[in-house]
Amino acid sequence: MPRRSTSSSTGRSTGNSTASNAPRNRTPQAVRVRRRSFGDFVKAFFAFVALLVLVVGVPGALAVLIGWPLPHGAPSLDWLQREITVDTFLRILTVIVWLAWAQFTACVLVEVKAALSGVGVPGRVPGAGPSQLLARQLVAALLLVGATAASLTPGLSNLGHSLEGNHKPTVAAAQATPGILAQQQEQAASTAAALAEQASHAQADAGHNAKQHGDTKYYRIQPPEGRHHDSLWEIAQRHLGDGRRYKEIYELNKDRIQPDGSRLSEASLIRPGWIMEMPGDAHGGELVEMPDANANASAHVSPGVQQQIHDYAKSGDHAQGGGSQAQGGGHGGAQVSVPQQRPASDGDRQHAGAQHTAPAATGESSAFGLPQALIGAPLLAAGLLGALGRRRRQALWQSALGAVGGRRGMEPPTPTGDAADVQDALLVGADPDGVRLLDRSLRGLAAQLAGESRALPTVYAAWLSNGDLHLQLAQPAGKPPAPWQLGQDQTFWMLARTDAERYDDVDTAAPYPGLVSLGTMDDSRLLLNLESVPGIVSLSGREADRAAVFASVAAELATNGWSDRMTITLVGFGEDLTPLAPNRLRHLDGIDDLIETMEAETRQRRGALGAAGHDSVLTGRTGPAQHTRWAPHLVLLAAQPSAENAVKLAELASDASRLGIGYLVGTETGDLPGAAWEMEITGAGKLLAPLLGLELDAQMLPLATQRAVVELFVEADPERDPQGPTPTPPFLVDVSEQGRPAVYARLVGPYEIIGLDTPDGDRSALLHEALALLLLHREGVHPRVLSSALWPRGVTEDVRDALLERLADWLGADPDGSPRLSADATGRLVLAKSVVSDLDVLRSLYHEATQGKGVDSRAVRGRLLTDALVLVRGPLLADRPEGRYRWLTHEIIDAQLPLLVADIGLALSAFHLEKNRAEKAIEALNAALNSAPADERLWNELLRATHATGDEARLQALAADLVNRSGARGLPPRTEALLDELLPSWRSGVAAVG
């Protein structure tokens, strides 16, 4: 696949550029001459003569010298059998010249019509590239002194440029034309070339004068031509010298009423015919000054356009707003553009406020700040937080069910330093609801299309904007199934957030697992589908910046919630990232190993697709054969490949999108064969893709943050130090009578608070929730973590601070005057030791019974374990209101508490069985099973205690109850083996009971 160079689209041509390497503007540029000189009249005269000769002189000469070239009657068989003479040959040539003249005349008429109308791009006459270029140049030269504004007529503006970027094909075509027409065309082409050079100087002078005098200039948005769509980025690139200055144009024109009555609300949503006020230093063609302020400019625009500009200028006092991104221009079959956004609802605005208020807290002390890379990446943070929670739960369960009893009831290590900051940033930035809605929406769409026997469309990108999901398709795919709607055009399918919330979980494969966040564009987040790109995605920039982007992509792909199985191969980086997802991430040492691996996999996938009768992985992933579940393979190559290896990668990637393989390759130079999409990461954190019209705030994972994230996962690894010492709970209380707390909160079961008056007002529920969060994190809670927990959609700092003041006043102070709510050295909020929860007491009682005083005293151990089990009144916060305490989904307390209760029940059962008190042991186990009904250890111990009673019928009934509870899955192997030991006839007994 030929490489598409970024510079070819965005660079500015100079006078020394050759035709072969000169950058090309896809929108033709007009030349505006502010003053008409004698030379202009001379040029116009010659253009008029050339047009007169070509349009009138050529047919006149043919009519006089040759006459009518065709036979006057129907040809007979004798006529067709005559010998071809010189006269016959001349008449054939005459017919060809007549056809060429007719085509050229049609081109002249098309160009003149476009010039006089002042609106739109001239239509293309089929097969008339050189002829239409010549007509355009001559008409443009003629109208240099005409009353029509060439500045608003893009069809006349491309003096000196052909349809492909230069005027050489015109001269070549003229030289190939026989006779007098060739001489006339060659002369006209030479004249047009000379005019082009002079016009370019006039363009530069006009821009310089406009900049000197600060005249107000206007630009009119041009209609689309082929695949090119005008965009603010390209306008800024042409007329301001830097595409990134599109925001200045957007600021000048935001919310102003356009000629069609609509307004500019997003920089990516511009329409043909709209008028844009330009900054004072704008230069180049296609610009006009305010007609009332400049008589010459007024002469160049039609009266209708003059009135439109005049009316538009009067609307200059308008609301100012933030910039947005330019619409994607795109090259080739794969391009990304910004979707049209609906007006944000109040809920959306509140959610957006959460994203924008988060960075504000960095104005506090440096120790008080959190890594912004994770706070600004809600999908990545949610994936990492979810994966970390699963890893910690796995460690808990593995410890509880493993052979090492000393690890029972373990507490996850409390992170410190950078790891603590990263954990807080994950809690602040994570958007699990967004991940859930994205996953359900995509799977729901796949299930609906499969139900309608429709194929999944190829999706290049997804945009999350104001809570809505926009899918950008590779090509139109018809009307989407409800509740999906068509977006701004046929290539966008849109799903409103309110409709997405109606989706439930469906049993279908993830249709687009290759989606990964690249960055944000104002309030819109772009997810690129690496799996669908028809070729390689290249990333250039400094090595450290590229590494941060690669690490972010790898981490999100490894932990996201909208994928099933996948393989992510890392080359040239990321060996230390594998702890994030050992089942997904794979590291290879070098490019040679990668090429060998991918060549084999490419062959295998091609063969498998052919054997299955699928044209792509999309048709194999869902629909009738969804059991196949083609998993994507995404290759992230951070190292610059050699020229030979780059060619091999390009060959592999040419068919990769059909096979479910994606390639993201780093490059130092930006020159990479087979690159379908070229991106650049700047030192300022901007991800640029000029050919796609994108400038994103890049999503990155810097090295320091990356290491802290990995540290969290390594510390939570269940295989790490399995025989280490039993960790001490983070907060132990005095369980003696002298240790009575000032404030006691009962969290295990219904929520109750003893020692405080119930606060009045609307903030009571929030105060209770904030206290519960602080009680579950005795190590301290970052204020921003507290804020994001209580207000998931965001809140301003003054509201948060006001709540903290009320919370501090509510909790009060200890008798010595010290406040019960304070901040530690890191700025985290901590509770005084006089504020205690029953969960703190429960942990302390168990710890004291098994590792403290109870170790040496049987009576003390029994009393402590009995007191602990009495505290268990049900699940955590059993009566919490619906919609509140959603932050509990980020916690592992839901796994810790049942395991802790089970450990207490097992310890108390063992205590009673030592003295052969089987009934007491059964009573303790049944009490623990009320809070931990799924703990296999409790059921096995209950079987032993029941067996100790000697009542075989009772044991048989318990076995039957266990079989019924296990359902189709059957009994766990350990339980089955224990029953074989205690009651060999249990199978026949269960069958009899059944």
pLDDT tens, residue by residue, 347-405: 444 444 334 333 333 333 333 468 889 999 999 999 999 999 988 888 887 777 664 33
Which range, 62-71, 91-100, 980-989, is most confident?
Answer: 980-989
pLDDT tens for residues 916-958?
999 999 999 999 998 888 888 899 999 999 999 999 889 998 9
Tokens standing for 241?
């010298």
Q: How confident is the model at residue 264 (pLDDT cuts 50, 70, 90)?
A: confident
What's residue 754's pLDDT?
A: 93
What's residue 509's pLDDT?
A: 85
Cα 365 from Cα 504, distance rounded (Å): 44
**Do the beta carbons of residue 110 and residue 212 sit within 8 Å?**
no
pLDDT tens for residues 130-145?
777 777 777 776 765 5
What's residue 177's pLDDT?
A: 30
What's residue 267's pLDDT?
A: 67
Q: How confident is the model at residue 156 (pLDDT cuts 50, 70, 90)?
A: very low
What's residue 568's pLDDT?
A: 94
Q: How confident is the model at residue 722 (pLDDT cuts 50, 70, 90)?
A: low
What's residue 755's pLDDT?
A: 92
Cα 441 from Cα 469, distance rounded (Å): 9
Cβ neighbours of residue 224 closer than 8 Å, sequence gap 6 or more: 230, 272
pLDDT average, residue stretch 826-842: 93
- Residue 31, pLDDT > 60, answer no
pLDDT average, residue stretch 411-435: 88
127 Rama sector, left if φ>0, alpha if ψ -120 to 50, beta otherwise? left
pLDDT average, residue stretch 564-591: 91
**Do the beta carbons of residue 125 and residue 132 sit within 8 Å?**
yes
Strand ranges (E), 383-499? 459-465, 468-473, 485-486, 492-495
Tokens standing for 761?
């007002």
**Do the beta carbons of residue 264 and residue 284 sit within 8 Å?**
no
Which range, 316-320, 333-337, 358-362, 883-887, is most confident?
Answer: 883-887
Q: Is the dihedral of CA 967, 971, 975, 979 positive or negative?
A: positive
Cα 545 from Cα 37, distance rounded (Å): 53
CA 305 to chain centre: 40
pLDDT average, residue stretch 176-180: 32
What's residue 27's pLDDT?
A: 33
What's residue 404's pLDDT?
A: 36
Q: Is the dihedral of CA 864, 867, 871, 872 positive or negative?
A: positive
What backbone torsions phi and psi does residue 682 show, to the nearest 5 degrees? Answer: -95, 165
Cα 9 from Cα 28, distance rounded (Å): 13
- Residue 440, pLDDT > 80, answer yes
Q: How confident is the model at residue 38 (pLDDT cuts 50, 70, 90)?
A: low
What's residue 463's pLDDT?
A: 93
Bigger pLDDT: 560 vs 234: 560
Cis bond upstream, residue 483 (ω within 30):
yes
- Residue 45, pLDDT > 60, answer yes
Residue listed under structure tokens 């479910």: 660
Q: How confident is the model at residue 624 (pLDDT cuts 50, 70, 90)?
A: low
Which range, 36-50, 289-303, 310-324, is most confident?
Answer: 36-50
Bigger pLDDT: 307 vs 706: 706
203, exposed or middle or buried, with CB in 10 Å at 0-12, 13-18, 19+? buried
What's residue 913's pLDDT?
A: 93
- Residue 790, pLDDT > 50, answer yes
629: how many CB neighbours lie within 10 A of its CB?
15
Q: What does 584-603 look like in DSSP terms, one character per residue?
A: TEEEES-HHHHHHHHHHHHH
CA 527 to chain centre: 2
pLDDT average, residue stretch 910-917: 93
Bigger pLDDT: 324 vs 538: 538
Cα 364 from Cα 4, distance rounded (Å): 46
Q: How confident is the model at residue 864 (pLDDT cuts 50, 70, 90)?
A: very high
Cα 128 from Cα 53, distance rounded (Å): 19
CA 903 to chain centre: 44
Tokens standing for 434?
């967004």
Bigger pLDDT: 969 vs 452: 452
Q: How confident is the model at residue 805 (pLDDT cuts 50, 70, 90)?
A: very high
Lowest-confidence segment of 558-562, 627-631, 646-650 by average pLDDT: 627-631
* Reported pTM: 0.65
Beta bridge partners of 208: none
Q: How confident is the model at residue 992 (pLDDT cuts 50, 70, 90)?
A: low
